[in-house]
């Protein structure tokens, strides 16, 4: 109840906000060497070729640049600049319209002064004083009239709510607390009614689209079905209606501070982290966003970045599905050559080592020159570790693995397949094993130069690609049939996986 109200007011009533925009962002228009020429350019009247012509009078600034900024997902960026002449007057102008959304006026010191709404009609005027930012007058924009009225309304309601919250903290009786909570609830309903009225009266307005995007379904009570309460129904209801009235192809939503946080909240709290639950949600959103000139590549990039190196083990399968269904079907046109190369190489590095897959074949040579096939190891679990005897972190981790193995894993049926990835350093490899007294029943192996050359000549993938081995150490846990059951975890997490698997058996 209170949370919804706070979000609704905060996101769209920031007329007095002061925040910093990164100074590296702005791009000033090309100006003549003469400052007089710059001033003349700023005061030049609107021409028929200007699709964007927003005049601004912003006192007390004179003979300086001010900026027009916007949100882009969670970030803020600068979109335009204007030079204010000696009368504090300038013009944001250009032949191309800006993507509609929530924009803000930025001072010469890169502080956000106040917000404005930018719709498709981008010819209006702004008159403001930095000492009374809340009194900014915008002429020629119906959207900003709606916005200013709502901002004034929400400011009053916000102040009233803050007073009630203070009173609630000082309440001495249960009756008083309940009375204050009811008053807060009533204000929240007023704000919601105001928003719904704007949507009803101005359904095609930008403000209506923003209110729709802000909505979050109210949690219904737990129903009783066949005499039993269905405790999961409220969660399912909110999830099913979370995106009601939101169009994923609406580029305007990117120019708000709340769309991406809402997206993140949805995946964090309403979508199970298993790839089979995550990917259908992503695919639906991407397909719905297809016609969004900015939204589609933005979402595609966001989901790619999130799952190419995911937070949870196994979620890289989500990235592979994105690659197969979108990038592999032509959507690499959105990428620069470097990003295209990275994504393609990453996809091919993950294809052979997904959770549940059979581990790629490894027939490597031990320190005595004998071939030791990975699939020749008979064990309940096989722990595969790729490491380099010159790697400082490896020198710390290998003894830890050995301690875990001797203390616990060996008795649980775990065997270790230890791969030296730096074949020229075999002397150092053997010395380290001896000095640290690493278990002699490990399979200590490496790839010979002859085997590597033969592999390259046959144009076969090497173990680095097959096992996504681009850092050391790299770990995999296999079951008795050599299926991958865990990877890239800490030793303690691997230990937990082994315990869980044994318990389930």
What is the sign, positive or negative, of the torsion defined by CA atoms of 201, 204, 207, 208?
Answer: positive
Instruction: Let me know if residue 122 belongs to a domain.
Output: yes
**Which domain does 444 fall in, by range?**
363-504
Q: Which residue among 185, 214, 243 closes a domain?
A: 214
Cβ-based burial of 439 (10 A; exposed 0-12, middle 13-18, buried ≥19):
middle
Q: Which residue among 98, 118, 140 closes a domain?
A: 140
Instruction: Let me know if residue 2 belongs to a domain.
Output: no
Tokens 């989901």 sit on residue: 303
Q: Are residues 159 and 236 in the same domain?
A: no
Decide if 488 contacts 383 (C-beta within 8 A): no
Q: Are residues 241 and 369 in the same domain?
A: no
Decide if 212 contacts 241 (C-beta within 8 A): no
- Number of folded domains that form the chain: 4
Instruction: Let me know if residue 199 belongs to a domain.
Output: yes
With residues binned 3-state (H G I as helix, E B as strand, rest as coil), the percentages for the chain, rounded to 5, are: 50, 20, 35
Say how many CA atoms lie within 13 Å of 459 toward its Cβ: 0
Q: Which residue among 214, 232, 255 closes a domain?
A: 214
> Which residues, 6 or more positions from 129, have their beta carbon under 8 angstroms from its beta carbon?
58, 59, 60, 135
Decide if 37 contacts 31 (C-beta within 8 A): yes
Cβ-based burial of 435 (10 A; exposed 0-12, middle 13-18, buried ≥19):
exposed
d(CA 387, CA 127): 65
Q: Are residues 468 and 368 in the same domain?
A: yes
Residue 467 tokens, joined: 């096992």
Instruction: Let me know if residue 8 belongs to a domain.
Output: no
Residue-wise pLDDT tens for the chain (505 aa)? 333 223 333 333 333 333 455 543 444 443 333 334 344 443 444 444 568 999 999 999 999 999 999 999 999 999 999 999 999 999 999 999 999 999 999 999 999 999 999 999 999 999 999 999 888 999 999 999 999 999 889 999 999 999 999 999 898 899 989 999 999 999 999 999 999 999 999 998 999 999 999 888 989 999 998 899 999 999 999 999 999 989 999 999 999 999 999 999 999 999 999 999 999 999 999 999 999 999 999 999 999 999 999 989 999 999 999 999 999 988 777 788 999 999 999 999 999 999 999 999 999 999 999 999 999 999 999 999 999 999 999 999 999 999 999 999 999 999 999 999 999 999 999 999 999 999 999 999 999 999 999 999 999 999 999 999 999 999 999 999 999 999 999 999 999 999 999 998 7
d(CA 297, CA 312): 24
Instruction: Let me know if residue 336 belongs to a domain.
Output: yes
């Amino acid at each position: 109840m209170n949370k919804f109200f706070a979000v609704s007011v905060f996101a769209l009533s920031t007329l007095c906000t002061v925040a910093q925009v990164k100074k590296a962002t702005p791009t000033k228009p090309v100006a003549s060497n003469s400052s007089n020429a710059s001033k003349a350019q700023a005061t030049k009247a609107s021409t028929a070729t200007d699709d964007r012509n927003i005049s601004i009078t912003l006192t007390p600034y004179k003979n300086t640049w001010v900026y027009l900024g916007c949100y882009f997902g969670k970030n803020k960026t600068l979109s335009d600049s204007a030079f204010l002449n000696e009368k504090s007057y300038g013009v944001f102008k250009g032949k191309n319209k800006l993507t509609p959304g929530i924009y803000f006026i930025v001072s010469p010191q890169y502080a956000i002064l106040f917000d404005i709404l930018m719709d498709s009609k981008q010819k209006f005027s702004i008159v403001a004083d930095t000492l009374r930012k809340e009194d900014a007058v915008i002429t020629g924009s119906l959207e900003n009239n709606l916005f200013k009225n709502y901002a004034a309304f929400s400011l009053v309601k916000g102040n009233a709510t803050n007073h009630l919250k203070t009173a609630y903290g000082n309440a001495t009786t249960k009756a008083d607390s309940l009375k204050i909570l009811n008053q807060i609830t009533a204000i929240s309903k007023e704000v919601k009614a105001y928003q719904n009225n704007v949507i009803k009266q101005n359904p095609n307005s930008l403000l209506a689209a923003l209110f729709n995007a802000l909505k979050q379904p109210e949690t219904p009570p737990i129903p009783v079905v066949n005499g039993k309460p269905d405790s999961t129904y409220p969660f399912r209801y909110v999830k099913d209606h979370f995106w009601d009235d939101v169009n994923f192809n609406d580029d305007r939503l990117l120019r708000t501070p709340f769309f991406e946080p809402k997206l993140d909240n949805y995946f964090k709290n309403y979508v199970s982290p298993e790839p089979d639950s995550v990917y259908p949600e992503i695919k639906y959103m991407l397909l719905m966003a297809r016609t969004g000139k900015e939204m589609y590549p933005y979402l595609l990039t966001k989901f790619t970045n999130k799952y190419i190196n995911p937070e949870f083990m196994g979620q890289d399968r989500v990235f592979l599905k994105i690659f197969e269904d979108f990038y592999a079907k032509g959507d690499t046109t959105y990428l620069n050559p470097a990003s295209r190369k990275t994504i393609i190489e990453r996809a091919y590095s993950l294809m052979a080592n997904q959770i549940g897959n059979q581990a790629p074949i490894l027939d490597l040579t031990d320190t005595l020159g004998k071939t030791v096939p990975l699939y020749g190891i008979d064990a309940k679990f096989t722990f595969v570790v790729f490491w380099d005897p010159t790697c400082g972190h490896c020198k710390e981790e290998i003894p830890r693995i050995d301690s875990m193995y001797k203390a616990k894993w060996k008795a649980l049926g775990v065997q270790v397949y230890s791969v030296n990835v730096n074949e020229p350093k075999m002397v150092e490899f053997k010395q380290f094993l001896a000095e640290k007294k690493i278990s002699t029943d490990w399979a200590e192996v490496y790839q010979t130069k002859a085997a590597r050359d033969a592999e390259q000549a046959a144009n076969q993938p090497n173990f680095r690609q097959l096992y996504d081995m681009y850092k050391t150490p790299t770990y995999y846990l296999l079951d008795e049939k050599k299926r991958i059951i865990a990877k890239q975890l800490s030793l303690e997490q691997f230990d937990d996986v082994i315990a869980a698997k044994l318990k389930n058996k």
